[in-house]
Amino acid sequence: MTTGKKNTVKAVLDAVVEYMTTGINGVLFIIMVGMALVLGANISMRFLFDSPISWSNAITRYAYIYIVLLGTAISYIEGSHAQIDAVYALASPRMKAIFDLCHYLVMMFLCAILIIYGIKHAITMWGVHSPVVTSMSIGIVYLSVPISAAVIFIFLIKKLFEIKF
């Protein structure tokens, strides 16, 4: 691939990752506000009227799953995940590029597995409904796994274009 095409692809991937990050941060904010409102209403209903909202715990549990998985993807994109880089810091630039390539390819493989099997499992569970929230499919909850893996996969494609040997 020529340098011009590579720069164009990298610029598009940079824009896509930036757009995804902004969108996910917005979704996470909305979920957090929603969780706070639902839990606050539940606490108020329990103490004031001795009648808690039956579905509040289930909904907040499902929301928390999305917060954890999407938050993990954002953490990975921002490089704020836990890492041990003692050996990496001592390596030469060429060896760092080889480490990065291996890391990205292994992570892409794992993300591909999570995407494929996560979608299959979400489809399988689509007909199953929450016992408390009967109108909500459990497949929606399971869909959080392939969504977060797809976000990380796209980010890793971007990172592959940044490797310099």
In a domain, 23, yes or no: yes
Spell out the residues 6+ positions from residue 1 whose beta carbon is closer than 8 angstroms to its own.
Answer: 9
Q: Looking at the 3D structure of the chain, how many domains does it have?
A: 1
| Contact between residue 163 and residue 1 where contact means Cβ atoms under 8 Å apart | no
The tens place of each residue's pLDDT in the chain, 165 residues long, gives: 677 787 888 899 999 999 999 999 999 999 999 999 999 999 999 999 999 999 999 999 999 999 999 999 999 999 887 788 888 889 999 999 999 999 999 999 999 999 999 999 999 999 999 888 999 999 999 999 999 999 999 999 999 999 988
pLDDT reported for residue 86: 86
In a domain, 165, yes or no: no
In a domain, 28, yes or no: yes
Range of the domain at 94: 3-160
For residues 164 and 41, what is the distance between their CA atoms, to the nearest angstrom?
A: 53
